[in-house]
Chain A
Amino acid sequence: MLAVDNINVFYGAIHALKGVSLDVKEGEIVTLIGANGAGKSTILKTLSGLLKPTSGSIQFLGDTIHGRPAQQIVKRGLCHCPEGRRVFANMSVEENLELGAYLRKDKEVKSDLEKVYVKFPRLKERQKQLSGTLSGGEQQMLAMGRALMARPKLLLLDEPSMGLAPLLVKEIFSIIKEINESGTTVLLVEQNANMALSIAHRAYVIETGKIVLAGDAKELADSDEIKKAYLGG
């Protein structure tokens, strides 16, 4: 579904991604784990068109997407739910969700809105409220609901558990699993490697802009190396 081949990305003079290659197959949850500043978010931003790689290629559903403007990538079904939620705080919950469906012209937007409200009943309660007044967990749900409104084929999630209480983290992860089971492929970036590995099929470990390990999520969760470096034991 997604094939990233040997991409290099620079922030000015800083070489942020050094020849990263990875792939995601339809129906999977793939997670990228790694320390702060390793380049996880940079990978997602490059996939969604916010950053342009200087070399390498990105194929999505058979199309070359690197170098294309973000709106064309969203249109193809690759949606990025960014780090820090980035909800439009000056707009209501419902307006945020409608913006998620910005490029859609079909008639099912309304029924999808209802589906999002079924998945996140708390958003329904706060429908007309300014999204800036929501709690962190609710904002995360809104950001995910907003991304779902675009009917993504591949959903990129950047640190969905950041800053949330443990109970909420559990809830968010079970929702991610549900989203995946209903047919959406997920590429998940997480610092909470434990949780991420527990729901993912496969994982990549990234260090200072390079993929250093890749494999089955269960096997990686059991490997001593990973336990020591990322799982706190």
Chain B
Amino acid sequence: MFEYIVQQLINGISIGSIYALIALGYTMVYGIIKLINFAHGDVFMVGAFVGYFAAKAGLGLFWSLILAMAVCAILGVLIERLAYRPLRGAARIVILITAIGVSFLLENLGIYALGPQAKGFPEIVTKTQYTLFGDVTINSVQIIVLAVTVILMVLLQYVVHKTKMGKAMRAVSYDMEAARLMGINVDTTISFTFAIGSALAGAAGVVFAVMYPSVDPLMGIIPGLKAFVAAVLGGIGIIPGALVGGLVLGIVETGVSSAGFSLWRDGAAFAILILILIFKPSGLFGKNVREKV
């Protein structure tokens, strides 16, 4: 029984860390412009496709990841420039609806350009099982997912806390007007935030496709929504919250499946969303703050 639980924890943490990578983008963008960027899951899908084509062209995992992150960073900046920036200062619901529009646009462009069928993802990582102890195993894909997540988290912590741009990001997300008075270029800072968040989603897309080896234009919807749940669970706008929210969600999901209710897996994720919104809308890490008027 103990070994079974440890095994499920390993499985849960590996899928959870993918949710965490996507959730970071949601939470960073929300932190800075108070927008739930519903197109974020589709950026994840684009990342998976870039990884797919890179792998088909013979690139290894490392370069596929780098390429997917770069393309997604540019895509994220473009989405912000073209769709959200012209609406800066408009009511929040207007930008939210625009985000849903961008999401549909990316999905349908994907179907138009690439066809609706799922494509098998090339095997760029040889899957080997390692026995940890007893019956508990971990495979090479899970190890890679964990390694990618940990490396990106450390990099993100460094960027946010130690670099000038990271300080600017935190300043803008705390008080945009005061940040302007420091001489911070708010538009550049917002673009930078979209670039980082989208690059993380791109990386998540590639490792997701390595784990579940297939890609299709609608693959971003469910992981995107779950990452949104993870971000809300941890406290939207709070970076460590997204990490913890993603891991908790992954573990709960795997727990529900392994207890024999695998049909309820997605339901459990959304039940968490409903429960957290009823009982602690600010999330696990959030403080209750009054809305600024």
**Shortest Cβ distance from residue A87 to the other chain B in the assembled complex, whole angstroms:** 8
**Shortest Cβ distance from residue A148 to the other chain B in the assembled complex, whole angstroms:** 12
Chain B residues with CB under 8 Å of A146's CB are 182
Partner of A150 from B167, B178, B179, B183 at Cβ < 8 Å:
B183
The answer to whether B174 and A102 have CB atoms under 8 Å apart is: no
The answer to whether A99 and B177 have CB atoms under 8 Å apart is: no
The answer to whether B181 and A48 have CB atoms under 8 Å apart is: yes
The answer to whether A70 and B180 have CB atoms under 8 Å apart is: yes
Partner of A98 from B167, B174, B181, B183 at Cβ < 8 Å:
B167
Q: Given A95-B167, A102-B164, decide whether A90 and B182 contact each other with a Cβ distance below 8 A.
A: no
Interface size class of A (residues with CB under 8 A): 20 to 34
- Total cross-chain contacts (CB, 8 A): 60
Once the chains are docked, how many angstroms separate the CA of A226 from the CA of B175? 36
**Shortest Cβ distance from residue A14 to the other chain B in the assembled complex, whole angstroms:** 17
Q: Which residue of A lies closest to B161 (CB)?
A: A95
The answer to whether B167 and A91 have CB atoms under 8 Å apart is: yes
The answer to whether A102 and B180 have CB atoms under 8 Å apart is: no
Chain A residues with CB under 8 Å of B174's CB are 88-91
Task: Identify the interface centre among B164, B171, B178: most chain A CB within 10 Å of its CB.
Answer: B178
Q: Does A212 contact B (CB under 8 A)?
A: no
Task: Identify the interface centre among A71, A75, A91: most chain B CB within 10 Å of its CB.
Answer: A71
Kindly identify, within residues 84 to 140 of chain A, every residue whose CB is under 8 Å from any CB belonging to chain B.
86-91, 95, 98-100, 102-103
Once the chains are docked, how many angstroms separate the CA of A230 from the CA of B184? 37
Once the chains are docked, how many angstroms separate the CA of A87 from the CA of B181? 11
Partner of A91 from B171, B180, B181, B185 at Cβ < 8 Å:
B171
Q: Does A74 contact B (CB under 8 A)?
A: yes
Once the chains are docked, how many angstroms separate the CA of A81 from the CA of B179? 11
Once the chains are docked, how many angstroms separate the CA of A82 from the CA of B177? 9
Q: Does B85 contact A (CB under 8 A)?
A: no
**Shortest Cβ distance from residue A10 to the other chain B in the assembled complex, whole angstroms:** 15
Q: A50-B181, A89-B174, A102-B184 are in contact. List 20 more A-B contacts (CB 8 A).
A: A50-B177, A69-B185, A71-B184, A75-B183, A80-B181, A81-B181, A82-B178, A82-B181, A86-B175, A88-B175, A88-B178, A91-B171, A91-B174, A99-B167, A99-B168, A99-B171, A99-B182, A99-B184, A150-B182, A150-B183
Q: List 17 A-B contacts (CB under 8 A).
A: A49-B180, A50-B180, A69-B185, A74-B182, A75-B183, A82-B181, A88-B170, A88-B171, A90-B174, A91-B167, A91-B171, A95-B167, A99-B167, A99-B182, A103-B183, A146-B182, A150-B183
- B contacts, CB < 8 Å to A: 164, 167-168, 170-171, 174-175, 177-185
